[in-house]
Chains A and B, each alone.
Chain A
Amino acid sequence: MAFRSAVITFPGSNCDRDMADALEKVSGTAPHRVWHGDHDLPENLDFIALPGGFSYGDYLRCGAIASRSPVMQAVISAAERGVPVLGVCNGFQVLTESGLLPGALLRNSGIRFVCRNVKLRVENAQSLFTAGYEAGQEISIPVAHHDGNYYADAHTLDRIEGEGRVAFRYVDDINGSARAIAGVLNAAGNVLGMMPHPERAIENAHGGTDGRALFESAIKGLVGA
Chain B
Amino acid sequence: MKVRVHVSLKSGVLDPQGRAIHHSLEGLGFSGVNDVRAGRLIELDVAETVTDEALDDMCRKLLANMVIENYRIEKVAA
Which residues of A are found within 8 Å of B46, using beta-carbon distances? none
Please, what's the 1-or-0 string for B23-61, where 1 marks a CB less than 8 Å from any CB in chain A?
A: 000000000000000000000000000000000000001
Number of interface residues of A (CB under 8 A): 19
Residue contact A108 to B16, C-beta cutoff 8 Å? yes
Report the minimum CB–CB distance from A208 to chain B (whole Å): 29
B67 at the interface (CB under 8 A from A): yes
Residues of A93-108 at the interface with B, using a CB-CB cut-off of 8 Å, are: 96-97, 102-104, 106-108
Cα distance A58–B51 when bound, in Å? 29
Q: Is A104 within 8 A of B14, CB to CB?
A: no
Interface extent on B, as a size class?
A: 10 to 19
Chain B interface helix/strand/loop/mixed: helix
User: Which residues from A are CB-within-8-Å of B62?
Assistant: 60, 64, 68
Is B76 part of the binding interface, using a Cβ–Cβ cutoff of 8 Å? no
A152 at the interface (CB under 8 A from B): yes
Which listed residue, B14, B19, B67, touches A149 by the CB 8 Å rule?
B14
Can you sample 11 A-B contacts with CB below 8 Å?
A64-B62, A103-B67, A106-B68, A107-B16, A109-B16, A111-B16, A111-B17, A149-B14, A151-B68, A176-B14, A176-B16
User: Residues on A close to B: CB < 8 A?
Assistant: 60-61, 64, 68, 96-97, 102-104, 106-111, 149, 151-152, 176
